[in-house]
Amino acid sequence: MEKRKVLIVSCTKFYGGGEIFVSRVFPQLEEYYDFFYQVRSKELYEILPSEYKFFVEHEVSFKREIAFARKLIRQYKIDIVVLNGNRAIYMAPFLPNCVRKIAYKHSSAASTMFIKKGIYHVLITLGFLCSDKIVGVSRMVVDEIRGFNSKKLVIYNGVRILNENRLIKPIDKEIKIVYVGRLEREKGIIEALAAVRQLSCPVRFYVAGTGVLEDVLRSEVESEKLENVYLLGNVTNVYELLFDCDIFILPSYYEAISLSILEAMACGLPVLATKVGGIPEAVEENVTGILVPPMNVSFLKQGLEKLVMDVSLRQRMGQAGRKRAKNYFNIEGTLASIRALLKNI
């Protein structure tokens, strides 16, 4: 039986959660489907193993992106198009009706700038109207979408669950706090660093990721001689870093759901995060981690102090988080759900 042909369209320039999702999920389903990729992220393009991958230069207009997708659909006789992220979803009305379209939404409307919210609402609604299915990566994302009840479903992002058990360090050892994410203001990295600096107990703070604030953070670390802060840049083996740390922090201003948080839970780390978006769906408050209001250094400091000073609390939350990740956010469950989606659409 001939395999169905699926085109993945990803229009985001950077390598974020939506692009990580593409790189980790679809290549594992190549036994069942023939995948083609149209992407704008250079990093995603280089990671994808498929010979049928096409890089769209950043300068290319949205109109030309649509034209290129239409060309691929015709040339390769595509059956299904997965529109990965908002910009890709905007394409749905302009793609042929002969293909099935899946709108795959990774972000909250809160991430849209206020001045653009009206335009966003019109474009995204048209995209949903012209899509056959709408997938959200959290219940929050799906609940934000008004109407389209027969089209909507939640498929949580999944992460690998490793067999290794972390060693819990005694209280007299220097505690390692870790942040993994883009270095952008809305991820709360400024507040995270401020909270760490206010701690009276000795800790090390590891920051993994790149972004627009990288130079600003590096300048602060150097000028203030913050010898306990380590800016690591891109980290290829995130799990290795997580296993070596004690506390995970991600104080985002908004978040659909965070792969970094799920990975930290899978590695048995207690999580200190903000009570926004889909994060409470991942982090069970006071069970697998501590949730605080966004943009609040004082609450972050209190949460860090609580976790740093209580080794048994870190251990309990870490074990509970690992169990929750295994039960609800396992990559195997995500693969099964997407395979079923592609089969039944």
- pLDDT tens sequence across 29-57: 999 999 999 999 999 999 999 899 999 99
Orientation of helix 331-344 relative to helix 17-25, angle to 10°: 80
Q: What are the strands of the beta sheet with 175-180, ordered from one edge? A: 229-233, 203-208, 175-180, 247-250, 271-274, 289-292
CB atoms within 10 A of CB 225: 7
Residue 12 · residue 21 · CB < 8 Å: no
What mean pLDDT is predicted for residues 16-35? Answer: 96
At 316, the pLDDT band (50, 70, 90 cuts) reads very high
CATH number given to 175-328:
3.40.50.2000
Nearest to 36 by CA among 79, 95, 66, 2: 79
Beta-sheet pairing, 271-274 with 247-250:
parallel
Q: Mapping DSSP to helix (H, G, I), strand (E, B) and coil, where does residue 275 land?
A: coil
Q: Give the pLDDT confidence score for residue 1 in this predicted structure.
A: 74
List the CATH code of the domain at 4-158+330-344: 3.40.50.2000
Beginning with the edge strand found earlier in the chain, give each strand of the sheet holding 4-10 in spatial order.
53-55, 33-39, 4-10, 80-84, 100-105, 133-136, 152-154
- pLDDT of 284 above 70: yes
Write out pLDDT tens, residues 65-103.
Answer: 999 999 999 999 999 999 999 999 999 999 999 999 999
Q: Residues 153-185, buried b or exposed e (16+ Cβ, 10 A)?
A: ebbbbbbebeeeebeeeeeeeebbbbbbbbbbe
d(CA 100, CA 88): 14
| Among 237, 99, 232, residue whose Cα is nearest residue 160 | 237
Average pLDDT over residues 101-117: 78
* Element housing 118 (H / E): helix 117-129
Instruction: Indicate the range of 21-25, 113-117, 230-234 predicted with least confidence.
Output: 113-117
The mean pLDDT value for 223-250 works out to 96
**If you average pLDDT over residues 18-25, what whole number do you get?**
96
Coil, helix or strand for 235?
Answer: coil
- Rounded Cα–Cα distance for residues 309 and 314 (Å): 9
Distances (CA, A) of 337 to 248, 256, 282, 324: 28, 19, 18, 18
Q: For residue 275, is it left (φ>0), alpha (ψ between -120 and 50) or beta? A: beta
Place of tokens 């795959």: 104
Confidence of residue 60 (pLDDT cuts 50, 70, 90): confident
Domain with CATH 3.40.50.2000 in the chain: 4-158+330-344, 175-328
| Per-residue model confidence (pLDDT) at position 173 | 76
Containing 10, the helix (H) or strand (E) segment is strand 4-10
CA distance 82 to 23: 14
pLDDT at 164: 67
Mean pLDDT (whole number) for 11-28: 95
| Amino acid letter for position 101 | K
